[in-house]
């Protein structure tokens, strides 16, 4: 490999050709602050517009300062990263950015983990010498995401995420000069845009310009209401990430403490969405076998590949961008909604209470789940199956709010019956997990044989698109996996072209799957945070005594006592749904498409 020798702050550095000054400096322990720059190498996400100019450095012989995040090293380059000229420039630029950013830190939900705040602190900004007019944008509140462009610093991370990685194309820079901001097409509300609510824009926003919709107060109100029974369901990815907000290393499983914290918050029952994930596998796995059976028998009408439907961001994406393929989506509801439906029927009946007096709160790694819970088809006479969906960071806030010393909590256990789960459901939280869980069950149901090796290693990893052929005792089942909507789009294009080789496709809207969800504690560009979360879920799966959804005794009981057969009439009524063509809603049809 060709290397380059240069000098940074009097240190000799040798780096491969093509290395940026920023990375070269990093390699010798020199930390240059960055603001707009962000890279998630496994996900092929890189935002380096060179826009914030915080990372500028002095290069000998160069007229002006250079952005180290963009500038590649050249032979013999002499770089200085903290001369008075550089530091004055950095501070002045920082003051400029702060001069158009509301100083609302104390009441901002990003307080304490805001990247702008950190750099201001590190640079020792004590005074803003350049004050003047400030942006005055209207705050846009969608069901999942709040967009407050008065806080936007134009780092463009959200734009790169939304367009390059997710290919949703909901966010773009609009206007010019001081009025420039990130917005939707024609500056519509996000609710009227092509946004799928995946929330990835929120997870990369360094400030709080994009944030999750806050639903803590109604949850607190319900908990305080003596007439209500309040139950919690926690998604698998939450337990690997929640600890990060309490000082744990990334990927630390805090399942037991989370259960105890929820109980201490006043939840009457603490259940597990994993239970519903097992239920999803029963329904979706059965649906896959039905469709596969018809398909293999030469039925041309059947929609193959079957696409998973547990991710609401993905479902919205299909409904808005590819409604013509919505019948390929499994009709099985997502685990969150299956849980809600069962809780408000089976469990409410068990308790002998009206569903209106049962409040279901889901704790999700996801912002789109808020929107999903609000969909009218997931309610009975106006009473939603899931009353409130809060995301991981919101749960952390509630725990702190209630003066709970998280680290000192004992490990609690989920309540029964809706708290029991298998290893198969745990891995729902990472990309490839749903399909792996489905394979474990579908294999045994299809072959009527025992599956000895439950670890489908070929389905794991962080490669954007993965595929594998699973041998169902002589029947090769072809499986495609995509995470990130941009990757999903590629699989979808194959279906549209008629070149898709797959029988089943798993899609997670967020890169990495739910572990990288928009409601999770911020990774702040550290890829290993996501890797460790995924590893933790596979660890938890490996340690579970039961690892196949259909072996969950409470699931077996549920079918026996209440639901009947998977995909049977009762199951169909409670656990399946339909999808809507939303292209019209967001105005995406072209004139010619409309006239057809």
Partner 1 sequence: MAQYTNYILVCGGTGCRASQSEQIIENLKAAVDQYGLEDTQVIRTGCFGFCEKGPVVKMIPDNTFYVQVQPSDADEIVREHLVKGRKVERLLYVNPETHELVPDSKHIGFYKKQLRIALRNCGFINPENIDEYIARDGYVALGKALVEMTPEEVIKEIMDSGLRGRGGGGFPTGLKWQITRKVQAPQKYVVCNADEGDPGAFMDRSILEGDPHSIVEAMAINGYCTGASKGLVYIRAEYPLAVERLKIAIRQAKEYGLLGENIFGTDFSFDIEIRYGAGAFVCGEETALIHSMEGLRGEATVKPPFPSEHGYKGCPTNVNNVETYANIPVILLRGAKWFSSIGTEKSKGTKVFALAGKVNNVGLIEVPMGTTLREVIFGIGGGIKDGKKFKAVQTGGPSGGCLTEKHLDLPIDYDNLLSAGSMMGSGGMIVMDEDDCMVAMAKFYLDFTVEESCGKCAPCRIGNKRLHEILQKITSGNGTEDDLTRLRNLATVIKDTALCGLGQTSPNPVLSTMDNFYDEYLAHVREHRCPSHQCRELTQYFINPEKCKGCTLCARVCPVHAITGDRKIPHIIDPQSCIRCGTCMEKCKFGAIYVH
Binding residues for partner 1 (CB under 8 A):
49-54, 56, 64-65, 67, 70-72, 85, 88-89, 92-93, 96-97, 99-100, 129-130, 132-133, 153-154, 172-173, 175-180
- Read off the tokens for 77: 């380059």
* Nearer to partner 1 (CB atom), residue 174 or residue 302: 174
Catalytic hit among 41, 75, 324, 377: 377
Q: Residue 496 CB, nearest distance to partner 1 (Å)?
A: 23
Q: Is 284 a catalytic residue?
A: yes
Q: 140-141 and 145-147: which strand pairing?
A: antiparallel
With b for 16 or more beta-carbon neighbours within 10 A and e for fewer, the 457-484 pattern comes to eebbebebbbbbebebeeeebbbbbbbb
Q: Residue 416 CB, nearest distance to partner 1 (Å)?
A: 55
* Nearer to partner 1 (CB atom), residue 91 or residue 550: 91
Q: Is 514 a catalytic residue?
A: yes
10-15: Cβ within 8 A, 24+ apart: 13/73, 15/73
Q: Would you say 278 and 421 are in contact if contact means Cβ atoms under 8 Å apart? A: yes
- Read off the tokens for 556: 């077996």
Q: How many helices (H) and strands (E) does the chain have?
A: 21, 22
CA distance linking residue 366 with residue 372, whole number of Å: 10
CA distance linking residue 411 with residue 430, whole number of Å: 24
CA distance linking residue 313 with residue 391, whole number of Å: 14
Q: Is 330 a catalytic residue?
A: yes
Q: Residue 72 CB, nearest distance to partner 1 (Å)?
A: 7
Q: Residue 80 CB, nearest distance to partner 1 (Å)?
A: 14
Catalytic hit among 330, 334, 362, 425: 330
* Nearer to partner 1 (CB atom), residue 100 or residue 252: 100
Q: Is 114 a catalytic residue?
A: no
Catalytic hit among 58, 159, 283, 287: 287
Q: Is 377 a catalytic residue?
A: yes
Q: 3-8 and 11-16: which strand pairing?
A: antiparallel
Catalytic hit among 369, 370, 548, 583: 369
CA 69 to chain centre: 27
Catalytic hit among 52, 195, 198, 514: 514
Residue 124, Ramachandran bin (φ over 0: left; ψ between -120 and 50: alpha; else beta): left
* Nearer to partner 1 (CB atom), residue 100 or residue 208: 100
Q: Residue 133 CB, nearest distance to partner 1 (Å)?
A: 7
- φ, ψ (nearest 5 deg) of residue 100: -120, 35
Catalytic hit among 58, 115, 284, 506: 284
Catalytic hit among 372, 420, 436, 540: 372
Q: Is 595 a catalytic residue?
A: no
* Nearer to partner 1 (CB atom), residue 88 or residue 556: 88
Residues 6+ apart with CB under 8 A from 465: 480, 481, 482, 487, 490, 491
Q: Residue 492 CB, nearest distance to partner 1 (Å)?
A: 23
Q: Residue 176 CB, nearest distance to partner 1 (Å)?
A: 5
Q: Would you say 310 and 577 are in contact if contact means Cβ atoms under 8 Å apart? A: no
Residue 532, Ramachandran bin (φ over 0: left; ψ between -120 and 50: alpha; else beta): alpha
Q: Residue 19 CB, nearest distance to partner 1 (Å)?
A: 14
Residue 35 host element (H or E): none
Q: Residue 6 CB, nearest distance to partner 1 (Å)?
A: 16
**Closest to 450 (Cα-Cα) out of 360, 355, 550, 538:** 550
* Nearer to partner 1 (CB atom), residue 53 or residue 466: 53
- Read off the tokens for 420: 């029991």
Q: Is 333 a catalytic residue?
A: no
Q: Would you say 395 and 523 are in contact if contact means Cβ atoms under 8 Å apart? A: no
* Nearer to partner 1 (CB atom), residue 186 or residue 301: 186
* Nearer to partner 1 (CB atom), residue 130 or residue 401: 130
Cα→Cα distances 434→334, 340, 357, 479, 514, Å = 11, 19, 32, 12, 11
Q: Is 158 a catalytic residue?
A: no
* Nearer to partner 1 (CB atom), residue 71 or residue 435: 71
- Positions marked active-site: 284, 287, 310, 330, 369, 372, 377, 514
């Amino acid at each position: 490999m060709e290397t380059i020798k240069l000098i940074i702050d009097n240190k000799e550095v040798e780096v491969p050709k093509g290395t940026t000054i920023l990375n070269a400096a990093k390699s010798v322990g020199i930390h240059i602050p960055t603001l707009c720059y962000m890279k998630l190498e496994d996900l092929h996400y890189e935002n380096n517009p060179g826009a914030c100019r915080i990372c500028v450095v002095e290069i000998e012989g160069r007229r002006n300062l250079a952005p180290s995040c963009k500038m590649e090293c050249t032979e013999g380059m002499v770089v200085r990263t903290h001369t008075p000229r550089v530091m004055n420039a950095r501070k002045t630029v920082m003051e400029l950015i702060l001069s158009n950013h509301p100083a609302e830190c104390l009441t901002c939900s990003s307080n304490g983990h805001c990247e702008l705040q950190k750099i201001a602190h590190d640079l020792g900004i004590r005074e803003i010498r350049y004050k003047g007019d400030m942006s005055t944008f209207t705050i846009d509140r969608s069901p999942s995401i709040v967009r407050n462009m008065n806080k936007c610093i134009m780092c463009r991370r959200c734009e790169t995420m939304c367009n390059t990685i997710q290919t949703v194309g909901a966010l773009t820079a609009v206007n010019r000069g001081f009025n420039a901001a990130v917005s939707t097409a024609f500056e519509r509300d996000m609710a009227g845009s092509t946004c799928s609510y995946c929330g990835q824009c929120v997870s990369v926003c360094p400030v709080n310009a994009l944030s999750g919709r806050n639903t803590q107060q109604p949850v607190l109100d319900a908990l305080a209401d003596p007439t209500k029974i309040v139950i919690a369901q926690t998604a698998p990815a939450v337990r690997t990430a929640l600890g990060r907000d309490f000082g744990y290393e990334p990927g630390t499983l805090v399942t037991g403490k989370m259960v105890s914290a929820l109980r201490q918050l006043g939840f009457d029952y603490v259940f597990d969405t994993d239970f519903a994930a097992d239920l999803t596998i029963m329904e979706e796995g059965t649906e896959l076998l039905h469709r596969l059976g018809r398909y293999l028998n030469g039925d041309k009408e059947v929609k193959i590949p079957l696409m998973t439907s547990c991710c609401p961001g993905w479902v919205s994406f299909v409904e808005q961008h590819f409604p013509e393929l919505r019948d390929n989506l499994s009709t099985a509801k997502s685990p969150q909604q299956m849980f809600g439906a069962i809780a408000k029927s089976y469990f409410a009946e068990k308790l002998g209470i009206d569903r209106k007096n049962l409040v279901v709160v889901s704790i999700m790694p996801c912002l789109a789940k808020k929107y999903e819970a609000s969909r009218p088809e997931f309610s009975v006479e106006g009473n939603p199956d899931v009353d409130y969906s809060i995301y991981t960071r919101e749960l952390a806030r509630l725990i702190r709010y209630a003066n709970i010393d998280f680290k000192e909590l004992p490990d609690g256990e989920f309540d029964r019956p809706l708290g029991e789960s298998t290893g198969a459901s745990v891995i729902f939280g990472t990309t490839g997990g749903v399909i792996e869980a489905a394979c474990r069950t579908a294999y045994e149901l299809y072959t009527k044989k025992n599956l000895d090796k439950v670890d489908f290693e070929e389905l794991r990893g962080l490669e954007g698109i993965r595929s594998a052929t699973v041998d169902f005792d002589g029947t090769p089942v072809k499986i495609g996996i995509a995470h990130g909507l941009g990757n999903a789009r590629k699989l979808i294009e194959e279906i549209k072209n008629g070149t898709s080789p797959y029988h089943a496709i798993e899609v997670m809207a967020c890169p990495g799957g739910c572990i990288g969800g928009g409601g999770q504690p911020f990774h702040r560009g550290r890829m290993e945070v996501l890797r460790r979360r995924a590893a933790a879920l596979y660890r938890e799966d490996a340690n579970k005594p039961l690892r196949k959804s259909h072996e969950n005794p409470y699931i077996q009981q549920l079918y026996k006592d209440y639901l009947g057969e998977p995909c049977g009439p009762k199951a169909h009524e409670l656990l399946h749904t339909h999808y809507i063509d939303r292209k019209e809603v967001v105005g995406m049809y072209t004139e010619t498409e409309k006239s057809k």
